[in-house]
A and B are shown apart, each in its own frame.
Chain A
Amino acid sequence: APPRPWQAPPPQRPAGNKCSVVLCARPSQSVQLLFGAFGSCLFPLLPSLFDKTLKMTHQFPSLSPEQKKELSDIAQRIVAPGKGILAADESTGTMGKRFQNINVENIEENRRCFRDILFSTDASIANCVGGIIFFHETLYQKSSNGKLFPQVVKEKGIVVGIKVDKGTAPLMGTDKETTTQGLDGLSERCAQYKKDGCDFAKWRCVLKISDGCPSALAIAENANVLARYASICQMNGLVPIVEPEILPDGDHDLQRCQYATEKVLAAVYKALSDHHVYLEGTLLKPNMVTPGHSCPKKFTPQEVAMATVTALRRTVPASVPGICFLSGGQSEEEASIHLNAINQVPLHRPWKLTFSYGRALQASALAAWQGKDANKAATQQVFVTRAKINGLASKGEYKPSGSADQASQQSLYTASYVY
């Protein structure tokens, strides 16, 4: 008979199997030893008794207890109380857009220079930043005093992460929906990244809300590719950040976004289970539940927070250690206020709820820098200010004093955002 999904592979003694294996030449004796009075029900299973004990432990073990502990510890360190993630993994093209706003040329040295300013901030930044996501290029760049960036970051006690996806690809037969590519050779890449100092990875999938979107295919395909990515990462000691971003483009209201978010996240966690991903060694990077950017109705931070936490409570298992929101076009201040409100929602929240912000941590810093060395200290200061605010927001302790400055209030939304 063809092997069923739950059947163990042909008997091979797995290393470290704690079950004592009793292999007996006489089947009838095995039956009596193992099953005593209940043997009468089990005689039809006689032929499989020899390898029965080998099947008794966890089917097809994937990660060892040590591997699981390492992943869990890494995840816990990233989302330690008061900490979140700096998403500094903008691709070359995306950095080009950033730099365009401040009239800085998009060359490698300028990209290196800006990241250098952020990463060489005073070590106390580690009190609010638990992890930094790198772009591939940046992982192999050095600070102005010759140290590789991963080392600079790790010396501050911050965990180094790496974006590993290779961008979106269209799904034929859909309304311009996409999946994300990057699985080819991913295992080897992850192994190399681990050697080069990374302990976590990030992969972004994109969904959108419109008539008929997100479609069943888009939901299922993106959930599946996220689970494949997560599985490969874990085999190589990297904690996968799972990012199923639902874009804020559109005129849909808060309820529609909540509904779509619940469906997407339910599919994501079903796929992660199907792919045997160890949830305690993952992080989630979702969108907050917000109305569409062109929705005429406005919603308060409390409404956004309630819709967000409700959606997460209905879909994200408690074993996931942390949820690190993307800022998705919100202004710096908006993103902090929303995160703060989320951490004040009067519903039980069994996971950490923190930030993984790109633009919402760097907008003011870019504006302060303007590409000029002389502005380095000022750049670091505004960066630290945003980081501290978000650290407080991740504990629900942020109290905005008066009005924030214009740069941080300005909406960072651009239509159909692509990294």
Chain B
Amino acid sequence: MRSHLLPEAIPTLSEAQKRELHETALRIVSPGKGILAADESVGSMAKRLAQVGVENTEENRRQFRQILFSADERVNNCIGGVIFFHETLYQHSDNGVSFVKMIRDRGILVGVKVDKGVVPLAGTSGETTTQGLDGLSERCAQYKKDGAVFAKWRCVLKISDTNPSKLAITENANVLARYSSICQQHGIVPIIEPEILPDGDHDLKRSQYITEKVLTAVYKAMSDHHVYLEGTLLKPNMVTGGHSCSTKYSPEEVAMATITALRRTVPPAVTGVAFLSGGQSEEEASIHLNAINNCPLAKPWVLTFSFGRALQASALRAWRGHKENEKVATEQFIKRAEANSLACQGKYPSGDKNSEVCHRSYGSCHAY
């Protein structure tokens, strides 16, 4: 029998490795749970903190993450995983307890953002790829030792008259597949994030079309790189109209376009889809997620959240950098966590009329 000698048949992961990855992915997206994306880079945190008049120091960043991580056991049923930024992985609470330990003791899984930001693609109209592959294998091994069991890598695409170009699509799909392959070698579940920005005046149909093309390329690259799909999660944009599109779409239209695009592109073997909020307000994001989970089309994957701003905006505004506001800020976060837990089960009643919550948190041409 010569089949085992053929180069293509070289196994990538052992049965035990596959099982570990698959089970980790399942735990992150357990029923009613989603992901807190608390992995804003130093630069992104600068923008957040500036909005509430807080200086962007390491201490302030630590304090704000502490507000989130101090949430009580109510979040245990809402949050399956927290994505950390590198710096945060090695920070501690006021009591000297490591953030990683605080999260893990709750039964919540720890993840880490491993990309190193976007870089321009020459010869394109403002398009980018994402860097961070150098030494990624060693970094993953270290992160695994330090308590992380999943990772995140964000690629960015834009819609315009000329974009996304074929190069941007294939290059970003390829780098996402390389990152995924490396992560899996170290027992780390890769979250795959090919974000298509909502900037622009394109309509829902265009967004759906582009999303389908991008995701097809992503999964072809995953196949080419022998990535074990059951041990991955997808973090896509919802399919929405561009932010300056004159037509407004209902949550049901957004849900239908989103699910249709995913059904045409995401293999059923992918364990879960955790949407990014991409500039939607907290309430908008929850309502959309709820509509997505109530969409009548058959959905073979878990559909949940991986929200940053849409989980933290109210907490940030309640805090404003003042220690005496910490408990109230934490409550705001818990409230959104619970709302999204309901939304990812299709059980979220809309009607949070709090104007702060409806306030749009969109920022033009967002880069983390």
Contacts and interface: CB of A to CB of B under 8 A. Distances in A.
A318 B364 contact: no
Contacts of A262: 223
Contact of A319 (B2, B217, B263): B263
Contacts of B365: 41
B201 interface: yes
A310 B300 contact: no
A388 interface: no
B9 A34 contact: no
A6 B265 contact: no
Contacts of B206: 55-59
A348 B300 contact: yes
Interface string A77-111: 00000000000000000000000000000000000
Nearest to B1: A251
Contacts of A251: 1-3
A118 B2 CA distance: 43
Interface stretch (A193-201, A252-260, A377-385): A252-260
Interface string A111-137: 000000000000000000000000000
A36 B245 CA distance: 11
Contacts of A310: 269
B268 A348 contact: yes
Interface string B315-340: 00000000000000000000000000
Given A52-B201, A350-B300, A256 B9 contact: yes
Given A41-B364, A262-B223, A313 B161 contact: no
A317 B364 contact: no
Interface in B251-285: 260, 263-269
Interface in B186-205: 201-203, 205
Interface stretch (B50-58, B83-91, B137-145, B163-171): B163-171
Nearest to B219: A266
A318 B300 contact: yes
A55 B162 CA distance: 11
A5 B298 contact: no
Contacts of A350: 268, 298, 300
B1 A318 contact: no
A12 interface: no
A267 B217 CA distance: 10
Contacts of B166: 5
Contacts of A313: 267-269
Contacts of B266: 317-318
A285 to B, nearest CB: 19
Contact of B223 (A41, A209, A252, A263): A263
A314 to B, nearest CB: 4
A319 B298 CA distance: 9
Interface string B1-27: 111001011000000000000000000
Interface of B: 1-3, 6, 8-9, 160-166, 201-203, 205-206, 208-210, 212-213, 216-217, 219-220, 223-224, 229, 243-246, 260, 263-269, 298-300, 364-365
26 contacts: A5-B165, A6-B161, A6-B163, A6-B210, A41-B365, A45-B160, A48-B161, A52-B161, A55-B161, A56-B202, A58-B208, A209-B3, A251-B3, A256-B3, A256-B6, A260-B8, A269-B216, A269-B220, A273-B265, A310-B269, A313-B269, A316-B267, A318-B266, A318-B298, A318-B300, A350-B268
